[in-house]
Chains A and B, each alone.
Chain A
Amino acid sequence: MDALAPTPTILEGPSLRQRLAAYGFDAVTLLVVPAAIFSLLLFVYPFAFGFILSFEPKAGGDWLANYKRFFSDPFLYETIGKTLGLAVPVTLLNLLIAVPIAFRVRLMRRQRLLTTILVLPITLGTVLVAEGLLNYLGPQGWFNRTLMTFGLISQPLKLVHNYWGVFASLVITGFPFTFLLTLSYVTGIDPALEQAAATLGASAWQRFRHIYLPLLMPGFAITFCLSFVQAFSVFPSAVLLGEPAGLTRVISIAAYQAAFEEYDYPMASAVAMIMGFVQLAIVVAVLASRGLFYRGPASGAKG
């Protein structure tokens, strides 16, 4: 800390404090400390702990034993594919629905009421939505009973305790988040750009294709990543609405079983690490593809 004291020497040029300040380090930088401690204790330490633990198999043996076991047991490694099979289509669908709605809402004056209604599912939480769907989409639920009353089906559709139950629940809980992010990106684009394109002869589709889409792609990439990470860590709805021993045995179920049914924490840590790695790989791939698109400010004027 001595180094931070002002040095009275003139011949040596700027003091350390001045040189640090030139790089953006000054007393205000210290305000970062609480946040740094917080993330160190609650993120970095548990992460590092889990990372190391995953290399110390409970049964002893090879330090990579947990990973070898994961990738040799189809019951375990297939969870990656099953989770991706849920998270990727759900995220894409949410984005696909959110874009046209955001384009419409952008022009509305009573945005607030609508966004409030749309945000409601977030506040309800996944468990409540899952319970609701169980009743609504179940064999004796309103949905099947209505369809049967109108004679559209003779047997109740199996919509819960399978892939589609989890899918529906993820769409419902994930959509508001995707929509709000999309809306903020869409409204961030200067409407004069669209008007300019219109006066230059671009039809509505051409305006979307040549102006909005290229400007929105980076925002869509971020939205995809954040929504995808949420969907990838699906757990309650996969258990409640899905087929947790079969088609919707997602990766978080595998981690849960390792930790709380087999009491094999090192194995659970290994599963968590693999889960993190898969998410990271997808996110990095998507963000890297942003480099293909223009990423500057989305308004024509300077400043």
Chain B
Amino acid sequence: MTIALSQFEEVRLDRVSRDFGTLNALRDISLTIRRREFIALLGPSGCGKSTTLNCIAGLLPVTGGAIWLDKHRVDTLRPEERGFGMVFQNYALFPHLNVRQNIGFGLKMRGTLKAEMDRKVDEALSLVRLQGQEHKLPGQLSGGQQQRVAIARAIVIEPPLVLMDEPLSNLDAKLRLEMRAEIRRIHNELGATTIYVTHDQDEALSLADRIVVLRDGVIRQVGTPKELYEQPAHLDVADFMGFRNKLKGRVLSSTNDRAVIDVNGAQIHGIAREKLSSGSSAYAAIRPDDLVVGEPGPNSLAVTVDTIEYRGREFVGTAHSHGGHDFVFRSHVSVEPGSQIHLHAGDERILVFAEPIQGRA
């Protein structure tokens, strides 16, 4: 293989901050990315994930902290001196250059010899499966093809780090799944190190080796997809990981990793994910899949069904309780809208979180 990415051990973000005037877009982001890792930066819009990526790429200067590539400090370098490959959300292909010229642009800027450039561009073209399209202009390509050109253009310069800023958000649903698999394939084939920004937890869960959840410019949790999915550390992370039912209650007791909270008179037993003190407010978080229609009893809440939708293998319903909580649940049997049912979840399926601090929720 002629495309051989530059080797290094780790990229280290050391308390990186970025202020826009008085707004702290990033606050003390510390993170170590190891070689060959696929890292996803996940969070809602405005959480600072794109800012982080732009700071790493050098498109935005950091206002505090440092970025290290092994022993070299890179945050003081201009973007053209860093040599990180970047894939932009709108692809940012050069409209006046054809596919081959777009991909070869970085090599040309480096003064690569023609023969070597041709060989590398050919290989990049075959890696993203765009042979035969090399003389088209970007405007003549479909969205998926443009994305492939953007990826080829970023990796052909053999960057130590590939940065991707929501690369799939402009594609339709079917193409998105296809390109997701392509991105992971290219990452594996090249042995690349990738930082991937997304607001889609499915993308992050399916692509990444490690996920970094950001919120309001702060890292909330770092972990493998499995860790984040099964053990979210905070309520907002849980929310992102599909715990759509959040029931506010009061802590009755909390021992080790177990907690009992009172939700409108019903006792809910669950796993405590944060430090809880008796009498304080807390949230029980439950995935729709884990809420089943059952009998009155422990961990069971009486609700009124609002809607029920047929989804093929199961039904998805919404309901509300007396206490004003809304529920989303799945069921194998249909239930009538307006009917009274009991929703139940197992102790192991309920996570209990402390009430988020204001402004950080």
- Determine if B59 is an interface residue (Cβ-Cβ < 8 Å): yes
CA distance A203 to B153 in the complex (A): 17
CA distance A214 to B84 in the complex (A): 25
Interface stretch (choices A24-32, A68-76, A295-303): A295-303
A180 vs B300: C-alpha distance in the bound complex, in angstroms? Answer: 69
Please state if A198 and B90 are interface contacts (CB–CB under 8 Å): no
**Of residues 20 to 74 in B, which have CB atoms within 8 Å of A's CB atoms?**
57-59
- CB pair A199–B79 under 8 Å, yes or no, is yes
Task: Give Cα distance in the complex from A297 to B137, angstroms.
Answer: 11
A52 at the binding interface (Cβ < 8 Å): no
Task: Determine whether the beta carbon of B139 is less than 8 Å from that of A302.
Answer: yes
- In whole angstroms, how far apart are the Cα atoms of A192 and B146 in the complex? 15
B285 at the interface (CB under 8 A from A): no
Contacts of A202 in B (CB 8 A): 80, 105-106, 109
- From B91, B96, B153, B157, A296 is in contact (CB under 8 Å) with B96
Q: B104 — nearest CB in chain A belongs to which residue?
A: A200
Judging by beta carbons under 8 Å apart, are B146 and A300 in contact? yes
B78 at the interface (CB under 8 A from A): yes
- A195-B79, A197-B105, A301-B170 known; A211 vs B90 contact (CB < 8 Å): no
Known: A196-B86, A206-B109. A201 touches B157 (CB 8 A): yes
A19 at the interface (CB under 8 A from B): no
Closest to A191 in B: B92
Residues of B within 8 A of A195 (CB): 57, 59, 79, 86, 88, 92
Q: Residues 127-152 of chain A: 1 if any B CB is under 8 Å from the residue's CB, otherwise 0? A: 00000000000000000000000000
Task: Name which of A193, A202, A299, A301 has the most chain B CB atoms within 10 A of its CB.
Answer: A301
**Contact (A296, B95) CB under 8 Å given A195-B79, A196-B88, A302-B139:** yes
- Residue-by-residue, is A285-303 near B (CB-CB < 8 Å gives 1, otherwise 0)? 0000000011011111110
Chain A CB within 8 A of B93 CB: yes
Given A297-B139, A302-B139, A302-B143: A199 and B95 interface contact (C-beta under 8 Å)? no
* Distance in angstroms between the alpha carbons of A214 and B105 in the assembled complex: 14
> Counting CB contacts under 8 A, is B85 at the interface?
yes
| CB proximity of B114 to chain A, nearest CB, Å | 17
**In the complex, per-residue mask of A210-242: 1 if CB is within 8 Å of any chain B CB, else 0:** 110011000000000000000000000000000
CB distance from A197 to the nearest CB of B (A): 7
Cα A193 to Cα B153 in complex, Å, equals 13
| Complex contacts, B93 vs chain A, CB 8 Å | 196, 300-301
Give 13 A-B contacts (CB < 8 Å), ordered by A residue. A192-B88, A196-B92, A196-B94, A199-B58, A199-B85, A200-B109, A202-B109, A210-B94, A210-B109, A296-B95, A300-B90, A300-B146, A301-B146
